[in-house]
Amino acid sequence: MGKAKPRARSRVRGWRIRIPRARWKRGLLGIGAGLALVTTVVLGYYYIEFSRIIEARLHGERDRVIPRVFARPLRLHTGQGLTETELVARLNDVGYTETSRVERSGEFALSGRAIAFVPRGGDQAGKPVRVLFAEAKVASTSRRVGAAPPGRIERVEAGGQTVDDVTIDPPMLAGLVTGSREKRRRVPLATIPQRMQQAVLAIEDRRFFTHPGVDPIGLVAAVATNLTTDRRVGRSTVTQQ
């Protein structure tokens, strides 16, 4: 009998799954788009939430009343012994602004022997008031020259009519500070010098007039700086501060 021939060893070839290149590229693009969408939604959510918190905080700061102690308000009446210089000093003390023409409350202007202003409070609040001073005369004799008599209010006008008296704002003597020892006073933007405004914005918030209160560009730049350098920077806006 002949010898049996040995069986040939079968070669099992492994299966290779080939995915077309275009398909896995589309898959990666889909994953990237999904991540970008999720990131956008999350950032948008936090942006809206933080915007609400900031807005509520700002409203709270504006509406917060700080206890203050005021002096007696100044009452101006005909015949009162008061000079133009003294009245200007008093108006400056209570925060009035000198202008060439009086248009809003809290402004005053000089015109000859008269001072015009618009009171912020009292019975004549918001009305143009004009205080006319008597002309100072020097009493003289052949032997000596006397000192000029003290200034005197000759007439007080409010709204174009002569009135008996007008009351202006009382000066603040002290403010009861909080635990943070802060004192705040509302100041119109027009009363702050232009150079000071530009200096503050150049240092603190260069995009103040273009962002809604939070500066996304500044936040991204701050994060990149903190991650790539040893410096630690922040990008809080003037609104947030």
Q: Which two tokens stand for residue 205?
A: 């918030």
The candidate with the shortest Cα–Cα distance to 95, out of 67, 63, 121, is 121
1-58 pLDDT per residue, tens: 555 555 555 554 555 556 566 677 777 888 888 888 888 888 888 778 777 777 766 6
Residues 200 and 162 sit within 8 Å (Cβ to Cβ): no
Q: Residue 130 has what DSSP assignment?
A: E
Determine which helix (DSSP H) or strand (DSSP E) holds 91, and give its type and residue range.
Answer: helix 84-93
CB 168 within 8 A of CB 70: no
pTM: 0.45
Low-confidence ranges of the chain (pLDDT < 50): 12, 140-148
pLDDT of residue 79: 86
